[in-house]
A and B are shown apart, each in its own frame.
Chain A
Amino acid sequence: DAGVIQSPRHEVTEMGQEVTLRCKPISGHNSLFWYRQTMMRGLELLIYFNNNVPIDDSGMPEDRFSAKMPNASFSTLKIQPSEPRDSAVYFCASSSYRITNNSPLHFGNGTRLTVT
């Protein structure tokens, strides 16, 4: 299994530009999570999907952030317009969720976003 695949690995953009981060979860997993990691705040959950449906987006900081999961094998996190304070590492994770028993998250290698 290739694991969770994220692209790009690094993104440098100017303030005001649109940024799109991509994630391919592990095949067969039915839950997908987007996290943001900074030194100040640690790992913050932005949004998660079960069976392609957004369940909790309360962690999405502002309307500038949006996430989609059009099918079971692909998700995007978009920031429009981007701001310097959005600079962070963004992680995607997936799991095989069953209501009777948790399964662990599997993380991708992250996208390091720098907004100048």
Chain B
Amino acid sequence: GENVEQHPSTLSVQEGDSAVIKCTYSDSASNYFPWYKQELGKGSQLIIDIRSNVGEKKDQRIAVTLNKTAKHFSLHITETQPEDSAVYFCAASISTGNQFYFGTGTSLTVIP
């Protein structure tokens, strides 16, 4: 089955700096990669996703890149703000199935 690895497990950045979280996956059939943000005491919220026919996607300060050959994808947050502090999860999924395989999460702290 699919195996998703996520790094780093914790990340601290100064406000205004960029943050990068990386994930790798093992199943070349995976073709959909969402990223979720989990704030304390809440469920995970989708923040951005990318499909395998696209190499990069941006939404304001958030971007995701995908390298299908290397089987890795990354989340980039620019101009970080304290409210970006949360746990971020990556996931991989195959369109013909309905299972999502999650990374172990990255706890991001933005220091004011």
Q: Which residues of A contact B (CB under 8 A)?
A: 4, 31, 33, 42-43, 45, 48, 50, 55-56, 91, 93, 95, 97, 99-102, 104-110
A4 nearest CB neighbor, chain B only? B43
A43–B42 touching, CB < 8 Å:
no
Contact between B95 and A109 (Cβ–Cβ < 8 Å)? no
Query: Within 8 Å of chain A (Cβ to Cβ): is B41?
Result: yes
Count B-side interface residues using an 8 Å CB cutoff: 24
Q: Could you tell me the dominant secondary structure of chain A's interface residues?
A: strand
Closest to B95 in A: A102
| Count, A-B residue pairs, CB within 8 A | 52
A56 to B1: give the CA distance in the assembly, Å.
14
Interface residues of B in 3-62 (CB under 8 A from A): 31-32, 34, 36, 41-46, 49
Find out whether the CB atom of B32 lies under 8 angstroms from the CB atom of A102. yes
The answer to whether A43 touches B89 (Cβ under 8 A) is yes
Q: How far is the CA of A93 from the CA of B89 in the complex (A)?
A: 15
